[in-house]
């Protein structure tokens, strides 16, 4: 799972984009991930998420499925089709029944699938594994 991280070059902490239309969800991600030493940027739907990905480099994105304007699957698919940013790993987080939709998430290009509500330790563990930093 080792990857070359965008932030590794300049020694900055890994940069995580969280994309969710729920405000408390975004606050939760921020709180957990900042406590674990990551830098967090937020977007409120998939299209805004894609714009942020175009604007600055990220080491990982955490993406909700059901969002206005652009849903999570469409966002990840769009990013996987854009040569400039296609490599960013993606974790999908959703409420939907895991079996059916994890297949769908992987098909869209997600690397991992988490089911809400997410436990803080699961979140940090998955994020650490993907961006390749030790606890």
Closer CB to another protein, 8 or 21, in the complex: 21
Query: Buried b vs exposed e over 63-100: b needs ≥16 C-beta within 10 Å?
Result: bbbebeebbbbbbbbbbbeeeebeebbbbbbbebeeee
d(C-alpha 45, C-alpha 6), whole Å: 23
Closer CB to another protein, 53 or 131, in the complex: 53
Residue 51 C-beta: closest distance to another protein, Å? 5
> What residues between 37 and 96 interact with another protein by CB under 8 A?
43-45, 47-48, 50-51, 54-55, 65-71, 73-74, 78, 84, 95-96
Residue 46 C-beta: closest distance to another protein, Å? 8
Closer CB to another protein, 76 or 131, in the complex: 76
99 binds another protein (CB under 8 A): no
């Amino acid at each position: 799972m080792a990857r070359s991280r965008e932030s590794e070059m300049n020694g900055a902490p890994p940069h995580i984009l969280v994309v969710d239309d729920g405000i408390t969800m975004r606050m939760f991600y921020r709180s957990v991930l900042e406590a674990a030493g990551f830098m967090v940027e937020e977007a409120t739907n998939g299209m805004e998420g894609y714009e942020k990905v175009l604007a600055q480099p990220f080491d990982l994105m955490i993406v909700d499925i059901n969002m206005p304007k652009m849903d999570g699957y469409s966002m990840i698919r769009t990013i996987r089709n854009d040569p400039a940013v296609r490599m960013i790993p993606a974790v999908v987080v959703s409420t939907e029944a895991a079996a059916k939709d994890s297949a769908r998430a992987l098909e869209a290009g997600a690397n991992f699938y988490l089911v809400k509500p997410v436990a803080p330790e699961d979140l940090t563990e998955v994020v650490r594994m993907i961006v390749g930093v030790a606890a």
